[in-house]
Amino acid sequence: METLNSLLYGFTIALHPANLFYCFMGALMGTLVGVLPGLGPVATIALLLPVTFHLSPVSGMIMLAGICYGAMYGGSTTSIMLNIPGEAASVITCLDGYMMAKKGRAGPALGISAFGSFIAGTFSIIGLVFLAPPLARFALKFGPPEYFSMMIMGMTVVTYLARTSMIKALMMAAFGVMVGIIGMDPVAAKPRFTFGIKEFYDGISLPPVIMGLFGIAEVLENVGVMIKKEVYSGKITGLYPNKEDWKKSAKPIVRGTLLGFFMGIVPGIGNIIPTFLSYVLEKKVSKNPERFGTGVIEGVASPEACNNAAVGGTFIPLMSLGIPANAMTAILLGALMIYGLQPGPLLIKNSPDLFWGVIASMYIGNIMLLVLNLPLIPLWVQVLKIPYSYLFSFILLFVCIGAYSLNNNVMDIFVAIGFGILGYFLKKFGYEAAPFVLAFVLGPLLETSLRRSLILSDGSFMIFLNRPLSAFFLCIVVFVMILPFVTKKRFGKGLEIEE
């Protein structure tokens, strides 16, 4: 009953005309940028994050949640229409989605992607409503050792799921922690690795880092290179799946939703692995597995539902524990801190308007995406045709304005440029940015938890093993670290994107 009252309260906030408008703008902008080839959901959120800074925290988070969902949807459109995935999780949609488009069934592919995402998104939001508050109450029992261990677990799982080298991913995590804690030492008030730059005394801001890593680096990689775009040019008809499509897609959507949601909850898993697993699962249960890859609707319905459900699942540890599950939620965590909020178990209690307002607006955003974006598909197809020779200049402009407008400080532009150069070389040498971003955001929290734990235990590291929950998290860390040696293979490895 209390949950229902809180949810109704959330709807009163989300249905406020201004917040409805921000939700719509977030979904629209997220889709508009998300359809651009080369910019996945994480890059989209990174680029659009500064747009939300000038709003109130609640409105900003509402817009940001809309951007998340819009970006996911935009990425699916690119995968189906262009065969260019915006991120790893969209690779699977390319397999059958683009083949459906080639067969003249782009409409049903886009339609089932939208409907499947809507159903999965609705389920995951319901899950968020019922799971996040009790998890937050449980997490009130967490102390610094539990938080430290859980963050280490999350980072370790993310590195285990790295698409290339796990060792390189661990290196990125270690480097991310170091960059994340640059600034004044919170206890000794001593500048650390600031190189005399006073703007770094409060640490390096997240938005210029992610805009550089994902925005500028992407442009540097693509500039001067012709991106081969085979945009599906036929007329898009039949956006609403017919009875046969629904019959084939219903169970895959259910399976994808459940798989994505429950896997997405686990810190570190994110949405990539569940999406790949959902495709494998559908192939296994199908009576005609050889048809997968030729343009079957099940091959689109399940991964798309799984992807959206996993995103919803990742919001649970973010909102209830203040622990991001992947790079996207790490950025959202950073955004919460920029808005002046304290993520963690007390977020729901201290800022109920934010939590319930965001949940209600996620639901409304899902409806908006379904009702509005499907008719706007011809517009997205036109956007896809904008030559990259123009797009890259707009992306760079957006990065610069976004970085500058954070603090009206030109140094943030130079930070974005610096991380753009770093991001470019990281990509070239096979280092993933996601573990770096996660560790960058968690770095200060990690240091605080570590320090407090060691103060509590008077310097003994046994505190991390003596407390059952902390020991449990660390056992998972050990398990994940030795698993590749035992099984000789690793989830995630080999899942390179063909772009």
Partner 1 sequence: MKKFDRASSIFWLILSVAICIHSYKLGLGSFHDPGPGFLFFWSGVVLGVLSMVILIPTMKGNKEALKETQENIFENVKWMKIVSVLVSLVIYGLILEWLGFLISTVFFIAFLLGSIESKKWYIIVFVSIVSAFLSYALFELFLQARLPKGIFGI
Chain contacts with partner 1 (rule: CB under 8 A): 51, 54, 165, 167-168, 170-171, 174-175, 177-178, 181, 185, 187-188, 190, 192-193, 216, 219-220, 223-225, 389-390, 392-394, 396-398, 400-401, 404-405, 408, 410, 413-414, 417, 420-421, 424, 428-431, 443, 446-447, 450-451, 454-455, 457-461
For partner 1, which is the closer residue by CB, 134 or 387?
387
Minimum Å gap between C-beta 249 and partner 1 is 38
Compare residues 150 and 360 and give the one whose CB is closer to partner 1: 150
Token output for 374: 């499907």
For the chain, helix (H) and strand (E) counts, in that order, are 22, 2
C-alpha–C-alpha distance, residues 37 and 53, integer Å: 26
> How many Cα atoms occupy the beta-carbon half-sphere of 490 within 13 Å?
22
CB nearer to partner 1: give 198 or 243.
198
Judged by beta carbon, residue 202 or residue 244, the one nearer partner 1 is: 202
CB 166 within 8 A of CB 159: yes
- Sign of dihedral through CA atoms 409, 413, 419, 423? positive
- Minimum CB separation of residue 337 from partner 1 in Å reads 19
3-class secondary structure, 228: coil
Interacting residues of 277 by C-beta distance below 8 A, sequence separation 6+? 259, 263, 306
Residue number, 112 or 417, with CB nearest to partner 1: 417
Q: How far is the CB of 37 from partner 1 (least distance, A)?
A: 17
Q: Smallest distance, Å, CB 216 to partner 1? A: 7
72 within 8 A of 86, measured Cβ to Cβ? no
CA-CA distances (angstroms) from residue 468 to 74, 142, 318, 458, 461?
43, 11, 22, 19, 14
CB closer to partner 1, 223 vs 475: 223
Q: Taking the complex as a whole, how short is the minimal distance between the CB of residue 246 and partner 1, in angstroms?
A: 40
Comparison of 247 and 428: residue with beta carbon closer to partner 1: 428
- CA dist., res. 299 & res. 284, Å (int): 12
Q: How many CB atoms lie within 10 A of CB 414?
A: 15
At its nearest, how many Å lie between partner 1 and the CB of residue 330? 17
Structure tokens at 301: 């319905």
Looking at the Cβ atoms of 190 and 243, the one nearer to partner 1 is: 190
Q: CB of 447: closest distance to partner 1 in angstroms?
A: 5
Q: How far apart are CA 436 and CA 432, in angstroms?
A: 7
Q: Closest separation between CB of residue 245 and partner 1, Å?
A: 39
